[in-house]
Copies of this chain bind each other. A is one copy, B any other.
Amino acid sequence: MTPRKLVARVLLRPGQAARLKSRDPADTLGLDSEDAARVHQAAMIDRLNDLQYRLYAENQRSVLLVLQGMDTSGKDGTIRHVMSGLDPSACQVTSFKAPSAEELDHDFLWRIHKAAPARGQIGVFNRSHYEDVLIARVRKLVPAKVWKSRYAQINAFERLLSDNGTVIVKCVLHISRREQKERLLDRLRDPRKNWKFSPRDVEERKLWPAYMEAYEDALTKCSTAHAPWHIVPADHKWVRNAVVAELLVETLEAMKLKIPRAAFDVRAIRIPD
């Protein structure tokens, strides 16, 4: 299984309809076994380390990984498993929660823009501006006219970032409704996991079909050449981790990052005692 193949299989090509129902959340993408996936992932993470160092040294461009997915789809787990091991000096995670009063007093991209990764950094969004066309739509937090205008605004915003040196990778962690039930039950049964559960999760679950519809629109309308969506089968955590790790490696390798040369004459420097 070559990296290229795995990534290509989860890419939502710009212009293509997302059709989530036609994509199996339990797909293993040809990965033979959990053990093989872990070995693959570990190798990816070693490469990621070297690539991140170059990104940081180059200090010209940045990478933004956007993670979306229903409750329990594994956004936190993906970050923990794939991004632990990176140098935290060059990796910044932003978890977007319900907007504050001050944030609501601005356009929906204001708080997002503030969190955009600096040059040399890998930024990770745990949830993102896509919530503004997901929960905002499903929960009717804004009129339809407002959220409908956001897809084009998002595409323009992502284009701005991309044009200015931020390489954007977007992943939706695609789990089945059935798997979500298992994971919620697990959080209830295991006292060490109770803290992850909120009774609100049950209310959100009841809106599953409306969310799927909102996701399909967001994915279809906002998978662009400069910021493509990837639909990552996430019922198996090891598949999910392997895909995201590989996606990051592929992305960074395509940037052809180089350690910069000295901007001064090295031979002319004397270090005094």
Contact = CB atoms under 8 A, between A and B. Distances in A.
Interface stretch (A78-86, A98-106, A162-170, A228-236): A78-86
Given A191-B261, A195-B57, A205-B272, A88 B86 contact: yes
B126 A89 contact: yes
Main secondary structure of the interface of A (DSSP, over half): mixed
A197 interface: yes
Interface string A227-270: 00000000000000000000000000000000111101010011
Contacts of A76: 89
A89 B85 contact: no
26 contacts: A49-B84, A57-B195, A76-B89, A79-B87, A79-B88, A79-B89, A84-B85, A84-B87, A84-B88, A86-B88, A88-B88, A88-B91, A88-B124, A92-B93, A177-B273, A188-B269, A191-B261, A194-B260, A194-B261, A194-B266, A195-B261, A197-B262, A199-B264, A202-B270, A205-B272, A206-B272
A264 B266 CA distance: 64
Contacts of A191: 259, 261-262
Interface of A: 49, 57, 59, 76, 79-80, 83-89, 91-93, 95, 124, 126, 177, 181, 184-185, 188, 191-192, 194-195, 197, 199, 202, 205-206, 259-262, 264, 266, 269-273
A269 B199 contact: yes
